[in-house]
């Protein structure tokens, strides 16, 4: 049981974790790959505030990671989320490894790489098919490689690879290049990059990429390569969140307000998955705002839940309408019978039962109770952990519940 679960460990998720953990929240990040997200794929970051010199994206990501863990964030990776239950006070997040629960959730999943959707792509993934030139490019030093895409990201990756590979083919999928003129001029000056205005038909290889087949001017042409880096852009993958009841825009982004709140209370979203900015600094800012909003929400929930009320023979916390955590007791003379403790299953792990039993013991002291008859196994466990709080009583165990 956590105060806050953050889904995604990129700059938005890591920044949210830094703020939340520093505020004292028990925080968990679930990241399906490795911490850093797309930030770790940036070879040189020059426009992040406070940096006088360019920094490698992976280096900045590791600094964020270390800062989050320094404040107490728990980070689990690789661990992909497969299902969520976001209605109700307790949010449930399921992965293939188990179920995690929290009072609030921040979604910071960023964007997913667009696939080429051609034969051989899935079969040769990790065997020469890659979506990250910075990550995998050094593996193909001195060899012929290709980049698929016509945007500025594709041009940047081609330039980066030209410093490693013998030759780089920039396959545009039959489209014109759409990138700033300065970037195109830099590519042309690299000397090792050949632009191929053709459509990718398939990727070929037995155990490793050996070549690609493209369609150019009505004919199929084979290009021998050792790897192809797919850079067709990014898209949101938010189907799982839509299924969980979150409002998703027509473009597939999670809808939030200025406080990063979604349409479900206690659920927030930050970074590229909301469709705003698409910059590291914007994602970090969104993560900070989401964490501040979640912190206020969680503190309000805890304050409400910590108020222990009393009526005849019962101490309880009204968690939400129709749901209580409680302890039943009975007083006869100088003896209190502690009968049963109950917390609804979905709210266990929040310390509610402990606070209630503590109130019952203080009430017993005010009444001048000398003897405690404990019929509840939870109370027995509580007394074993807090012997000093019952040192004035004669305790007898008669466990029935």
Q: pLDDT 10s digit of each residue in the chain, 401 long?
A: 899 999 999 999 999 999 999 999 999 999 998 899 888 877 778 888 998 898 988 899 999 999 999 999 999 999 999 999 999 889 999 999 999 999 999 999 999 888 999 999 999 998 999 988 888 899 999 999 999 999 998 999 999 999 999 999 999 999 999 999 999 999 999 889 999 999 999 999 999 999 999 999 889 999 999 999 999 988 888 999 999 999 999 999 999 999 999 999 999 999 999 998 788 999 999 999 999 999 999 998 887 888 899 999 999 998 877 888 999 999 999 999 999 999 988 788 778 899 999 999 999 999 999 999 999 999 999 999 999 999 999 999 999 98
Instruction: Supply the pLDDT for residue 47.
Output: 85
- 2-111+236-303 and 129-230 have identical folds: yes
3-class secondary structure, 2 = strand
Alpha-helix runs per DSSP H in 71-207: 133-136, 152-162, 181-190
Q: What is the C-alpha separation between 165 and 139, in angstroms, rounded?
A: 10
What's the first-to-final CA gap in the chain, in angstroms?
24
CATH class given for the domain over 309-397: alpha beta
Under a CB-based contact definition with an 8 Å cutoff, are residues 361 and 314 in contact? no
Cβ atoms of residues 311 and 304 within 8 Å: no
By three-state DSSP, how is residue 105 classified? strand
**Cα–Cα distance measured from residue 360 to residue 206, given in angstroms and rounded to the nearest whole number:** 71
* 3-state secondary structure (DSSP) of residue 325: strand
Phi and psi of 372, rounded to 5°? -115, 125
pLDDT, residue 44, reads 77
Q: What architecture is the 129-230 domain classified under in CATH?
A: 3-Layer(bba) Sandwich (3.50)
Strand order, beta sheet including 167-171: 129-130, 227-230, 144-148, 167-171, 193-196
> Which residues belong to the active site?
132, 135-136
pTM of the model as a whole: 0.74
Q: How far apart are CA 33 and CA 9, in angstroms?
A: 9
Determine the Cα–Cα distance for residues 352 and 308; give it in Å rounded to an integer: 9
Sheet containing 323-332: which strands, arranged edge to edge? 309-311, 314-320, 323-332, 335-342, 371-374, 394-397
Choosing among 2.60.120.10, 3.50.50.60, 3.30.1280.10, 3.40.1010.20, the CATH entry for 2-111+236-303 is 3.50.50.60
> Which parts of 201-279 fold into alpha helices (H)?
239-243
- Spans of all domains in the chain: 2-111+236-303, 129-230, 309-397
d(CA 129, CA 376): 60
**Res 165: pLDDT:** 96
H helical segments located in 108-266: 133-136, 152-162, 181-190, 239-243
Report the C-alpha dihedral over residues 123, 128, 133, 134, rounded to 10 degrees: 110
Tokens of 321: 């309408």
327 within 8 A of 340, measured Cβ to Cβ: yes
User: In this structure, what token pair is assigned to residue 41?
Assistant: 């794929």
Cβ atoms 369, 334 nearer than 8 A? yes
């Amino acid at each position: 049981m956590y105060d806050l679960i953050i889904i995604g460990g990129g700059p938005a998720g890591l920044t949210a974790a830094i703020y939340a953990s520093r505020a004292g929240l028990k925080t968990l990040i679930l990241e399906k790959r490795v911490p850093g997200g797309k930030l770790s794929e940036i070879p040189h970051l020059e426009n992040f505030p406070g940096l006088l010199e360019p920094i490698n994206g992976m280096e900045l990501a590791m600094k964020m990671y270390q800062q989050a863990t320094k404040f107490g964030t728990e980070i689990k990776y690789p661990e992909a989320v497969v299902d969520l239950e976001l209605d109700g006070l307790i949010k449930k997040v399921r992965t293939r490894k188990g179920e995690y629960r929290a009072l609030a959730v921040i979604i910071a999943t960023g964007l997913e790489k667009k696939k080429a959707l051609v034969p051989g792509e899935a079969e040769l993934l990790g065997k020469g098919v890659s979506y990250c030139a910075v990550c995998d490019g050094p593996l193909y030093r001195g060899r012929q490689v290709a980049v698929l895409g016509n945007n500025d990201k594709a041009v940047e990756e081609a330039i980066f690879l030209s410093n490693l590979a013998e030759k780089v083919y920039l396959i545009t999928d039959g489209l014109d290049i759409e990138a700033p003129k300065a970037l195109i001029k830099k590519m042309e000056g690299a000397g090792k990059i050949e632009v191929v205005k053709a459509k990718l038909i398939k990727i070929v290889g037995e155990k490793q990429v050996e070549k690609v087949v493209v369609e150019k001017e009505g004919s199929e042409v084979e290009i021998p390569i050792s790897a192809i880096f797919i850079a067709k852009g990014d898209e949101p993958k938010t189907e799982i969140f839509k299924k969980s009841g979150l409002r998703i825009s027509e473009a597939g982004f999670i809808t939030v307000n200025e406080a990063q709140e979604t349409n479900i209370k206690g659920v927030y979203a930050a970074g590229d998955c909301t469709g705003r900015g698409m910059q590291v600094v914007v994602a970090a800012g969104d993560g900070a705002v989401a964490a501040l909003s979640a912190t206020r929400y969680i503190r309000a929930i805890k304050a409400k839940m910590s108020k222990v009320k009393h009526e005849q023979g019962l101490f309880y916390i009204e968690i939400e309408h129709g749901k209580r955590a409680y302890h039943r007791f009975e007083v006869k003379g100088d003896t209190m019978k502690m009968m049963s403790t109950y917390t609804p299953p979905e709210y266990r792990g929040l310390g509610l039962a402990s606070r209630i039993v503590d109130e019952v013991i203080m009430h017993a002291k005010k009444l001048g109770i000398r003897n405690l008859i404990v019929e509840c196994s939870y109370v027995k466990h509580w007394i074993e952990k807090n012997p000093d709080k019952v040192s004035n009583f004669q305790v007898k165990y008669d466990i029935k519940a």
